[in-house]
Amino acid sequence: MPLQTCGLSAEDAGMPNPRQIVLAVYPGVELLDVTGPAEVFTAASRLIGAAGRGYDVRLASRDPGEVQTAAGVRLVADTIWTEVRPGVDTLLIPGAVRFGAQAAEAVVDTDLVSWVHAMAPRTRRIAAVCAGAHVLAACGLLDGQTATTHWCTAPALAKEHPEVIVDPDPIFVQAGRVWTCAGGSSAMDLALALVAEDHGQATALRIARWLVMYLKRPGGQSQFFAPIRSV
């Protein structure tokens, strides 16, 4: 029988409340930046089990309904930005990249920047994937901190935000409660690191094994961007 039909909350029934994970989605967002972390957090909840404190993953967008990703696949948001309440454990900002005539450019949605700026003080932990780091920089959340992003937008991040110490080499970087990562498959490495922070390395390794990932890559591992760019 569902707990709500008994008049009991999960906490009242002795079950730990799941950590609230909110992923911001918007038109043109990179699909893997969203689905990669979501898969890791969901796998964590399944492996931890009902007796442990898992994760409740939600997608939030500016407007209700479908959001078309850069891959053309459509996502459906669970809620809108203005309806997200305090108590979010981890706010995750995926990236979006626009390809111009000269180079790739990070997409920085001004409404998203405003919302993240307002949500940041009410959120325990904030993470950006790929070009999502540009959004955090625009909010001032990376000032004086070391951060990374996808190698293709790292030079622009350093130029546009000289107050940020941009390191384009590692796959993810932690600066206190703020995390940034390189994007692509490294979004899953970032999510594993967040789970490890919550539940320990052994749990993160179990999840990596379940997802048939390459164990658990350390954040300091290089993006290998130089060889890739020379191909």
Q: What is the CATH number of the domain that holds 199?
A: 3.40.50.880
Q: What six digits make up the tokens of 129?
A: 């994937």
**Strand intervals (E) in 110-227:** 125-129, 146-147, 165-166, 172-175, 178-181
75 with 25: CB under 8 angstroms?
yes
Residue 200 forms part of a structural domain:
yes
Distance in angstroms (rounded) separating the CA atoms of residues 80 and 88: 14
**C-alpha dihedral (154, 178, 57, 201), degrees to nearest 10:** 100
pLDDT digits (tens, 9 = 90+) for 17-57: 999 999 999 999 999 999 999 999 999 999 999 889 999 99
Q: What six digits make up the tokens of 92?
A: 């995750």
Residue 230 forms part of a structural domain:
no
Residue 81 forms part of a structural domain:
yes
Q: How many domains does the chain divide into?
A: 1
pLDDT at 136 over 90: yes
Residue 3 forms part of a structural domain:
no
**C-alpha dihedral (126, 173, 39, 13), degrees to nearest 10:** -50
Structural domain of 59: 9-225
Residue 1 forms part of a structural domain:
no
pLDDT digits (tens, 9 = 90+) for 48-89: 998 899 999 999 999 999 999 999 999 999 999 999 998 999
Q: What six digits make up the tokens of 125?
A: 């932990």
Residue 169: what pLDDT? Answer: 93
Q: What is the mean pLDDT of the chain?
A: 88
Residue 231 forms part of a structural domain:
no
pLDDT at 100 over 80: no
pLDDT at 222 over 60: no
Residue 2 forms part of a structural domain:
no
Residue 149 forms part of a structural domain:
yes
Tell me which of 30-34, 43-47, 99-103, 158-162 is least confident: 99-103
